[in-house]
Amino acid sequence: MANLIIADDDPEILALLELLLSRNHTIRTANDGLQALQLAEAESPDLALLDYHMPKLDGIVLAKKCNDRKIPFMFITAESEWSAVQNIISLGALGYLLKPFTPQRCITTVDEALRLASERAQHSAASS
């Protein structure tokens, strides 16, 4: 069971993600980027799911702060423009979930991001 932080300013998306993912994971939610950063610093999650656009601290800035703290992250976004996808990839995201999404796509995408986070952690430990 992984510890996840989900950050989105849409309460319906937060509730849906919590419903879909809480069967297999421990979930903490944040409705803005600043709250998400505070949770991430306090709890060191296995994965942070970040909305691309949020108040107080947007997903891009939050992703950079996650990188600085070695917190694995992925994006939840309605941004489908190629430039946004390139930006997400260049920030080091382990994946992205495009809104709207199906329950199966959500679970599969999060599971894949967790697998990649685990592999990245093992690789880091082996090279230390």
Residue 62 in contact with residue 37, Cβ under 8 Å? yes
Domain 2-126 has CATH 3.40.50.2300: yes
Q: How confident is the model at residue 121 (pLDDT cuts 50, 70, 90)?
A: confident
pTM exceeds cut of 0.95: no
- Residues 6-55: tens digit of each pLDDT: 999 999 999 999 999 999 999 999 999 999 999 999 998 999 999 988 98
The domain locations on the chain are: 2-126
- Residues 56-70: tens digit of each pLDDT: 988 889 999 998 889
Predicted confidence at residue 128, as pLDDT, reads: 62
Distance, in Å, from the CA atom of 89 to the CA atom of 95, rounded to the nearest integer, reads 8
Does residue 123 surpass a pLDDT of 90?
A: no
